[in-house]
Amino acid sequence: MSFAEDFVDCLTLKEHIGNNTTMCYLKKVRSVLKTAVEREWLNRNTLSSYQCSYIEPEKDILDEKESFTLYEKKMAVERLEDVKNAYLFMCFTGFAYKDASKLTREHIVNFFAGEEWIVKNRQKVTKAICRESVPLLPIAKEIIEKYKDHPYCLQNDVLLPISSNQKYNAYLKEVADICGINKNLTTHTARHTFATTVTLANGVPIETVSAMLGHKSIKTTQIYAKIVAQKISTDMSDLKKKLMIKMPNLQKLNELVA
């Protein structure tokens, strides 16, 4: 067994680190070894020929019905109502939690035909700056209007009363339970929902979605397109089964065609 395989097995089996994180670690070590070889500290890079393999993570996203269930459900507790509305805002703008929490009136600009957009540079984990430009949909406008006189928003000059991420995901779970949504909602799933259910599934071109999300490469956006395609395939498969039950003659026809 090669050093690379030993390294991967150690991280995944002994340290219980996920596959994709392990691949990231391996790439970093490989880069260090490459530098060592270039400076003649080592004779060869034992990781140079190892092919990293990534597993595409499953993303919990809201479908259209769940999105509007969330929108229509009034929370009895103000804290949960604020969490719900902030989450919905992110679902219909695509902004990440960190960026949404820092949005101010200055980020709202009038573009074509006086249409309101939110334009903001988003700070990524990689420290690369990407501009996210999104036209405001009616639900997002409604939420901004709702909180324009909120004490927290006025005091901190922000659009939404989002203070800390520490308990936000826990509150989101409460909201999901109240709405009967059996999905693990987090600060990330709102952005995924915007990319899939709100835009791509409604025919918005992938190039447009990529630009709105501030992706540097369209390859990143294509992950969401694949999710939409998979869901369409699953939904149509379920529909086919239902039709077979309701219309038995279709089952015979399907067998003949097959």
Who's near 216: CB < 8 A, 6+ residues apart? 128, 130
> In this predicted model, what pLDDT tens digit does every residue of 90-106 receive, in sequence order?
999 999 888 899 999 99
- How confident is residue 73, by pLDDT bands cut at 50, 70 and 90? very high
pTM assigned to the model: 0.67
Kindly tell me if the per-residue pLDDT of 200 is higher than 60: yes
Kindly tell me if the per-residue pLDDT of 62 is higher than 60: yes
The rounded distance, in Å, linking the Cα atoms of 19 and 42 is 27
The rounded distance, in Å, linking the Cα atoms of 248 and 214 is 49
- In order of start, what are the domains of the chain with their CATH numbers? 1-55 (no CATH), 64-224 (1.10.443.10)
HEC string for 59-78: CCCCCHHHHHHHHHCCCCCH
* pLDDT (0 to 100) of residue 106: 94
What is the per-residue DSSP string for 124-147? -TT--EEEEEEEPPHHHHHHHHHT
> In this predicted model, what pLDDT tens digit does every residue of 16-42 receive, in sequence order?
787 778 888 888 999 999 999 999 999
- How confident is residue 257, by pLDDT bands cut at 50, 70 and 90? very low
pLDDT, mean of residues 136-140: 94
pLDDT, mean of residues 231-253: 66
Residue 117: name the closest of 128, 102, 106 by CA. 106
Kindly tell me if the per-residue pLDDT of 164 is higher than 50: yes
> In this predicted model, what pLDDT tens digit does every residue of 172-186 receive, in sequence order?
999 999 999 999 888
